[in-house]
Amino acid sequence: MAIDKRPARVAAMFDAIAARYDFLNHLLSAGFDRHWRSRAILSLQLTGREAIVDVCTGTADVAMAAVSASPGAAHVLGVDFSGEMLRLGAAKIRRLGKTNRISLARGDATRLPAATASMEAATVAFGIRNVEKPERGLAEMYRVLRPGGRLAILEFSIPTAALIRAVYLPYFRYVLPRIGRLVSGHGPAYSYLPASVGSFIPPDVMLDLLRACGFRESKAIPLTFGIVTLYTAEK
Ligand SMILES: C[S@@+](CC[C@H](N)C(=O)[O-])C[C@H]1O[C@@H](n2cnc3c(N)ncnc32)[C@H](O)[C@@H]1O
């Protein structure tokens, strides 16, 4: 069955779970989410001068990791269409004392509020799967990148090794949605997670999409037994 990814519905879902989002992220990934974001930032090979757009920034964890890395990004523009996720992200950025280096904007991944060829890097962590037409999100990141600009995408994937699947898939499909529902009080959001990952394009198709959008040097790097894939590419 096709999953309803209309923007208003997805934004409302993230608004509803925002308060528990970070806690559940760390809990359900056993803290691996921080490691995955750092791997993505590392792949950008930052020098300290870059302007980055972090698409589907949510509560701004990638944006904060990008400016906290050393060397880190000079500036990050975080874009998301969930007002509640952004509100919590803004409070975290204030606490970190990085308001001068991170700005947040409410907007859609397919219409980024950034000029053409204005960014040295673009990131999206666990967001592209939610975009109704992911190819439009990729094309938009391509547009805002400068020639030579780097892209890093993190997304959940289904491990290919039989042993890992045997252990991970029951957890991901049955245990995780129950914990998510109990803690967030929102059942549909944490059933949506495995359903949207299961129906999302596999890494080889994602690489084809990236090439079709004009990206070169695109790679799919499995992280943590392939439960997450880091996609890297250049404009
Ligand atoms: C799973 S969260 C990931 C948040 C953050 N990147 C992280 O690593 O924790 C997905 C985020 O993508 C946002 N999102 C999904 N589709 C979007 C779209 N088309 N435009 C803007 N934001 C979108 C949601 O509102 C949500 O905050």
Residue 60 CA: which ligand 1 atom is closest? 5
Q: What pLDDT does residue 1 have?
A: 60
User: Of the residues 5, 13, 56, 153, which should be mutated to test ligand 1's pocket, given the most ligand atoms within 8 Å of the CB?
Assistant: 56
Instruction: Name, in order, each residue with C-beta under 8 angstroms of 122's C-beta and a sequence gap of 6 or more.
Output: 52, 53, 54, 55, 141, 144, 145, 149, 150, 151, 152
For the entire predicted model, the pTM comes to 0.96
Q: Residue with the nearest Cα to atom 14 of ligand 1? A: 56
Residue 33 CA: which ligand 1 atom is closest? 8
Q: What pLDDT does residue 187 have?
A: 82
Residue 82 CA: which ligand 1 atom is closest? 25
Q: Determine the distance separating the centroid of ligand 1 and the alpha carbon of 163, expressed in angstroms.
A: 31
Q: Residue with the nearest Cα to atom 27 of ligand 1? A: 58
Divide the 235 residues of the chain into consecutive groups of 10 and give the mean pLDDT of each group. 86 93 90 96 97 98 97 97 98 97 98 98 97 96 98 96 94 91 87 89 96 97 97 98
* Residue 60 three-state SS: coil
Domains and CATH numbers, the chain: 7-11+30-158+202-234 (3.40.50.150)
Q: What pLDDT does residue 28 have?
A: 87
Q: What pLDDT does residue 89 have?
A: 98
Tokens of 129: 């799967």
Q: Which of 122, 153, 131 is nearest to 231 (CA)?
A: 153
| Residues in the ligand 1 pocket, defined by CB under 6 Å | 7, 10-11, 14, 25, 56-58, 61-62, 80-82, 85, 108-109, 125-127, 130-131
